[in-house]
Structure 1
């Protein structure tokens, strides 16, 4: 499992419900790749991670377990 801190939006039934900030996300790399439904065109770089960046990533589903999002 890999754990990281993320910001984003909770989307239900195709609509933004609320903003999520500094949420712990735990993911299994292969399960993570299988659950990706699409990517955004908004590549953003993180200054704290020395040039690492990511576009928006959309998942079909995720769970909340022990106060963290599990993908």
Structure 2
């Protein structure tokens, strides 16, 4: 179901969806440690190289300028 275009309805819609996923109903609830699907696994060197190549040249999310603007706000 797409989000409503009306701002007030959208806010209510987001709150309702958020409440629906709280606690044990959350798909990731309890998936920590040994229960987590990636527990004990590691990326191969080839995969690490692929990720490294994909992320090269991308800007970091919080530049110094951005942090300065956040402190001013």
- TM-score range (shorter-chain normalised) is under 0.3
* More strand, by proportion: 1
Question: What's the TM-score once normalised by structure 1's chain length?
Answer: 0.17
* More helix, by proportion: 2
Question: What's the TM-score once normalised by structure 2's chain length?
Answer: 0.17
Query: Which structure has the greater CA radius of gyration?
Result: 2
